[in-house]
Structure 1
Amino acid sequence: MNSRAETHVIEAEPLTASAFAPYGDVIETAGHEAVPMNQGWARRYHDLADVDVTDQQGRVQISLAHVQAEESPVALRLLERHPLGSQIFMPLSGHPFLVVVAGGREAPPRDALRAFVGGYGQGVNYHKGIWHHPMIALEADADFLIVDRQGPGANCEEIPIPDGPVEIHRAARP
């Protein structure tokens, strides 16, 4: 009997608001009405995500992260979650990115993981407590704007990938 677990393969799917809803919000302008501002020179899209950071006197913090690109297939390293606040990642480039998530309070089995490919004009807001892999840039290094919680309390839990190795495959583009 082989003591090493077989690699579990997940096919990434396109990032859509309906598919991602159990895990958070897709931040995008599609499907939202623009509000004119600055005497009509600009359009604003209101309330695109539910920022939830106030548990245990938390406050909003804004950060930037530089993420090195990875080739497909992507081997997952770990999962993390933030039990005291939501976490937004908004790419500052037009390159695709990979989002890996799972619901539940306990460490999820690897067959519960879902993967999504986000594209130009999209970002994500992980709901409080959602298991996710650190952000993965595809095709090119990418910078991300991060909106999350700063404050007292333990707000980051990390675990190894459960049940053995997992690879994410990105479907070929048409």
Structure 2
Amino acid sequence: MVRTLHATPLSIEAYARYGGVISTNVVNPNTILVNGGSSRRTPEVVPTTNLYSASPSGAPGKTVLNASLASPKEVSAWPAEPGKRALRIKVLERHRFTTQSFVPMGGEVMYLVVATDPGDVPDLSEGKLKAFVARQEQGVCYAPGVWHAPMAVIDHPVSFAVIQHVNGVADEDCDFFHLEEEIEIVF
């Protein structure tokens, strides 16, 4: 039997245990006006964490900013509720030694964020594994070690700026976990 997980809108509060939400709606005590008062800047909305000094190889990590074009995933109508759709996931990944941030770069944007707590294997128990619907004004940052689904954009291709650290050792840059049973994300 396929497990079903219902996605909720991405919010700073609901997502906090997995990382951070990147948005101009975020303000903190360090928010200031810049550019002659025409822009508001909030520094350090999410961390950029590099833990490669603790990796088995000890190879240092470097910061990279990549451009990524994500193609839409195949979705289906969800028959239990008219107007809802579903996407099935088969694999989770994690980056043990770095944060990984995705910032959409314009256009029509809707993507799913699926995450669970860090650990040697993903915790798929109820209340731990969560799914969120993110929109064009929201970027997402996965904390180091957080298991998450690969990028899942809906309806249209989406360009992202991706910020993370890498050390070039494949087993340290990314781990994969293949699920025994697919998980259906309803949104």
| Count of residues in Structure 1 that have an aligned counterpart in Structure 2 | 164
8 Å contact kept, 2:65–2:164: yes
How far residue 77 of structure 1 moved from its aligned partner, in angstroms, is 2.2
In structure 2, distance between residues paired with 1:44 and 1:38: 10
1:146 aligns with 2:162: yes
Determine the structure 2 residue equivalent to 1:103: 117
Determine the structure 1 residue equivalent to 2:78: none
Which sections of structure 1, spanning at least 5 residues, go unmatched? 1-5
8 Å contact kept, 2:88–2:185: yes
In structure 1, distance between residues paired with 2:123 and 2:137: 31
1:133 aligns with 2:128: no
User: After superposition, what is the alpha-carbon deviation per residue over 1:84-116, rounded to whole angstroms, capped at 9, x for unaligned?
Assistant: 111001111241110000103132243342100
- Percent identical pairs in the alignment equals 26
Which secondary structure state, in structure 1, belongs to the residue aligned with residue 173 of structure 2?
Answer: coil
Which secondary structure state, in structure 2, belongs to the residue aligned with residue 19 of structure 1?
Answer: helix
How far residue 42 of structure 1 moved from its aligned partner, in angstroms, is 2.9
1:55 aligns with 2:52: yes
Query: Taking structure 1 as reference, are residues 118 and 164 closer, same or farther at Cα in structure 2, changes over 3 Å only?
Result: same
Once the two structures are overlaid, the 10-residue window that deviates more, 145-154 or 12-21, is 145-154
Which secondary structure state, in structure 2, belongs to the residue aligned with residue 129 of structure 1?
Answer: coil
8 Å contact kept, 2:72–2:155: yes
User: After superposition, what is the alpha-carbon deviation per residue over 1:27-72, rounded to whole angstroms, capped at 9, x for unaligned?
Assistant: 1121416422222343322111011025232121000111111223
Once the two structures are overlaid, the 10-residue window that deviates more, 76-85 or 63-72, is 63-72
How far residue 131 of structure 1 moved from its aligned partner, in angstroms, is 0.3
Match of 1:10 among 5, 11, 25: 5
In structure 2, distance between residues paired with 1:81 and 1:109: 12
8 Å contact kept, 2:90–2:181: no
Which sections of structure 2, spanning at least 5 residues, go unmatched? 54-59, 76-84
Q: TM-score, normalised by structure 1?
A: 0.86
Matches within 5 A, 1:10-49: 10-32=5-27, 34-49=31-46
User: After superposition, what is the alpha-carbon deviation per residue over 1:101-155, rounded to whole angstroms, capped at 9, x for unaligned?
Assistant: 0103132243342100011211111000000011111121101110001225412
In structure 1, distance between residues paired with 2:51 and 2:140: 19
8 Å contact kept, 1:8–1:110: no
In structure 2, distance between residues paired with 1:23 and 1:54: 17
Which secondary structure state, in structure 1, belongs to the residue aligned with residue 181 of structure 2?
Answer: coil
In structure 2, distance between residues paired with 1:110 and 1:165: 11
Match of 1:155 among 158, 170, 173: 173
- The CA RMSD over aligned residues, in Å, is 1.7
